C-alpha cells in the first residue's frame, strides 16, 4: 500500500535549501583579519593604541539595550552566573528559576554554590508564572531569574513588583530575546541586570560569547572583576604596551573574558539583527494564522510586548492529534516532510538528564546541599505538558521567503490529515 507521509516513503512537502545559521555580515572577514594582525587577541593582552573590539562591542551593545553598562563575557552561562554573583547571590542562597529553560539557567546558579528553586510557567507564554514565583519565595531567596522563552517576553510588570516587594534583584535571562522590547524598553534593561548568550544558535552570535547589561554601576564593577580574574578595565589614559586590566584587589574573579575575534564578529552581527528580526516576525505571523486552521495554537507573548523576537517558533499541537500519537512521532513526521529539524520544547528541569547535580562530586561534599539542589523535589505540571504538546523549530527557518512558510503550513496540514498512518 502506498503511503502519503514522507516518513513512510511518500514524497516530501519541501525539498528546498533552508537558510543556514549563523550568517556572516559584510565586514566580518575584514574585522577578523584586523584582529589577527593587531597584536591583541583579547582584552588581557597589552594595549595597542586604539580601543579594543571588546570595548567597541560593549559600548554598542549597551546603547542597543538602553543601559549604562555592558560587560562582555565568554559565554552566556558565564554571563548568568556573573550577573547573579554581581547582584549579591552566593553560597546556599536560593534563586527562583523557571522550570522550562535550557539547563544553564539552573547550572549557572549551581556554579556559584547557590540553590535553584524550580517553578512552573504560564501555559500560554511558556515564561515563568508570577504566582508561582511569589509562592516560592522564602527567607533564603536572594534573587529571581526570568527567562524570556523562545519568542515571548515574561510578565515583567508583575515580576518587577514581586521583586520590589521582597527586596530581591530580578535577573533577566535574555538568551532568546536579543532586540525584544517590553513597554518600549529593551529586555535586559528592566531588571537589576540582564544576561545574554551569543552561542552559535542565538539571534546575535559569534559562536560563543555573552554579556551582562545593567544600569547599576556597582553591579557593573563587580561583573567586570568577576569575569577577568579580579581585574577591571582601566579608566585612565593608556600607552602602547600597558595592561588595560588593573589588579585592584577589590574582588576575586575568574577568567570569562570575550576574545577580540568574538567581539569583532558580534559588532558585525549587531548591524544585521534588527532587519532579521523584522523578517522573522513577518514569517511567524503568517504561520500563526495558517497553523490555527489545523487547531495549532502558537506561543503568545505577554501583554505589553512592543517588539517581539523569535529564537524558536513554537506552536501547541491539537489535543485530538496527541490522543492518537505522542509529540515525538509528530516531530519525526514533520522533520521528514520539511528537511529541517523540528524539536519538542525543553524537557522540564526537574526531569532533565543534563540537570543532575548528583553526578558532580563538588556538590556531594555537603549532603544537605545535595538534597536541596535535587531537582526531583519540584513539581512542574505545566512545563511537562508543554514539553509533551509543543513543537518548535529554529529562527533561521523564518528567514526563508514567505512562500516557504506556506510549505511549512502544508506539512502540518499533511501530517495532521494522515496521522492515522503513523498511529501505533
CATH number at residue 48: 3.40.640.10
Query: What do you get for the CA distance between the two ends of the chain, in Å?
Result: 17
Shared domain for 346 and 253, answered yes or no, is: no
Domain enclosing residue 401, as ranges: 273-350+362-422
Shared domain for 151 and 180, answered yes or no, is: yes
Shared domain for 295 and 258, answered yes or no, is: no
In a domain, 261, yes or no: yes
Shared domain for 267 and 330, answered yes or no, is: no
Shared domain for 224 and 151, answered yes or no, is: yes
Shared domain for 162 and 288, answered yes or no, is: no
Cβ-based neighbours of 199, under 8 Å, separated by 6 or more: 75, 76, 175, 205, 207, 208, 209
Give CA separation, 185 vs 17, 181, 189, 204, 219, in Å.
36, 5, 7, 18, 20
Largest CA distance in the chain: 78
- The model's pLDDT over 227-259, given as tens digits with 9 standing for 90+, comes to 999 999 998 999 999 999 999 999 999 999 999
Given a contact cutoff of 8 angstroms between Cβ atoms, the answer to whether 272 and 25 are in contact is yes
Shared domain for 174 and 205, answered yes or no, is: yes
Count how many domains the chain has.
Answer: 2
Q: Which residues pair with 314 in a beta bridge?
A: 392
Shared domain for 258 and 376, answered yes or no, is: no
CA angle 383, 174, 34 (to 5 degrees): 140
Reported pTM: 0.96
Which of 272, 298, 323 is where one domain is finished? 272
Shared domain for 119 and 182, answered yes or no, is: yes
In a domain, 18, yes or no: no
Of 145, 125, 158, 147, the C-alpha closest to 301 is 125
Q: What is the CATH number of the domain that holds 318?
A: 3.90.1150.10
Catalytic residues: 202
Which of 272, 296, 325 is where one domain is finished? 272
In a domain, 195, yes or no: yes
Of 297, 264, 269, the C-alpha closest to 201 is 269
Shared domain for 107 and 212, answered yes or no, is: yes
Angle between helices 402-417 and 327-338 (to 10 degrees): 130
Which of 272, 307, 325 is where one domain is finished? 272
Handedness of CA 55, 56, 57, 58 (dihedral sign): positive
Q: pLDDT tens digits for the chain (424 residues)?
A: 457 999 999 999 999 999 999 999 999 999 999 999 999 999 999 999 999 999 999 999 999 999 999 999 999 999 999 999 999 999 999 999 999 999 999 999 999 999 999 999 999 999 999 999 999 999 999 999 999 999 999 999 999 999 999 999 999 999 999 999 999 999 999 999 999 999 999 999 999 999 999 999 999 999 999 999 999 999 899 999 999 999 999 999 999 999 999 999 999 999 999 999 999 999 999 999 999 999 999 999 999 999 999 999 999 999 999 999 999 999 999 999 999 999 999 999 999 999 999 999 888 778 899 999 999 999 999 999 999 999 999 999 999 999 999 999 999 999 999 999 999 8
Amino acid at each position: 500500500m502506498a503511503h502519503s507521509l514522507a516518513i513512510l516513503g511518500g514524497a516530501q512537502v519541501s525539498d528546498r535549501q533552508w537558510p543556514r545559521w549563523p550568517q556572516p555580515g559584510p565586514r566580518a572577514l575584514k574585522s577578523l583579519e584586523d584582529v589577527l594582525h593587531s597584536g591583541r587577541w583579547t582584552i588581557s593582552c597589552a594595549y595597542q593604541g586604539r580601543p579594543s573590539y571588546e570595548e567597541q562591542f560593549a559600548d554598542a551593545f549597551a546603547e542597543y539595550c538602553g543601559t549604562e553598562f555592558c560587560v562582555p563575557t565568554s559565554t552566556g552561562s558565564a554571563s548568568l552566573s556573573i550577573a547573579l554573583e554581581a547582584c549579591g547571590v552566593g553560597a546556599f542562597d536560593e534563586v527562583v528559576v523557571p522550570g522550562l529553560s535550557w539547563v544553564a539557567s539552573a547550572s549557572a546558579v549551581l556554579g556559584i554554590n547557590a540553590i535553584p528553586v524550580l517553578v512552573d510557567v504560564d501555559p500560554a507564554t511558556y515564561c515563568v508564572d508570577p504566582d508561582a514565583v511569589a509562592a516560592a519565595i522564602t527567607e533564603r531567596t536572594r534573587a529571581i531569574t526570568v527567562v524570556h522563552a523562545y519568542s515571548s517576553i515574561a510578565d515583567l510588570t508583575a515580576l518587577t513588583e514581586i521583586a520590589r516587594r521582597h527586596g530581591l534583584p530580578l535577573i533577566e535571562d535574555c538568551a532568546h530575546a536579543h532586540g525584544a522590547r517590553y513597554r518600549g524598553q529593551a529586555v535586559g534593561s528592566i531588571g537589576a541586570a540582564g544576561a545574554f548568550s551569543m552561542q552559535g544558535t542565538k539571534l546575535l552570535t559569534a559562536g560563543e560569547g555573552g554579556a551582562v547589561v545593567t544600569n547599576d554601576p556597582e553591579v557593573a564593577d563587580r561583573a567586570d572583576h568577576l569575569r577577568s580574574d579580579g581585574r577591571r578595565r582601566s579608566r585612565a589614559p593608556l600607552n602602547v604596551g600597558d595592561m588595560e586590566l588593573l589588579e585592584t584587589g577589590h574582588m576575586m574573579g575568574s577568567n570569562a573574558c570575550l576574545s577580540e575575534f568574538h567581539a569583532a564578529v558580534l559588532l558585525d552581527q549587531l548591524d544585521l539583527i534588527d532587519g532579521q528580526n523584522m523578517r522573522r516576525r513577518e514569517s511567524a505571523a503568517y504561520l500563526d494564522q495558517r497553523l490555527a486552521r489545523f487547531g495549532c495554537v502558537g506561543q503568545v507573548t505577554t501583554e505589553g510586548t512592543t517588539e517581539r523576537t523569535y529564537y524558536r517558533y513554537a506552536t501547541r499541537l491539537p489535543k485530538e492529534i496527541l490522543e492518537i500519537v505522542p509529540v515525538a512521532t509528530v516531530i519525526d513526521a514533520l522533520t521528514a516532510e520539511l528537511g529541517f529539524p523540528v524539536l519538542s520544547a525543553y524537557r522540564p528541569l526537574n526531569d532533565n538528564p543534563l540537570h543532575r547535580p548528583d553526578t558532580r562530586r563538588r556538590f556531594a561534599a555537603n549532603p544537605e546541599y545535595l538534597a536541596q539542589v535535587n531537582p526531583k523535589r519540584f513539581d512542574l505540571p505545566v512545563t511537562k505538558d508543554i514539553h509533551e504538546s509543543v513543537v518548535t523549530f529554529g529562527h533561521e527557518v523564518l528567514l526563508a521567503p514567505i512562500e516557504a512558510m506556506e510549505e511549512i503550513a502544508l506539512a502540518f496540514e499533511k501530517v495532521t490529515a494522515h496521522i492515522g498512518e503513523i498511529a501505533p
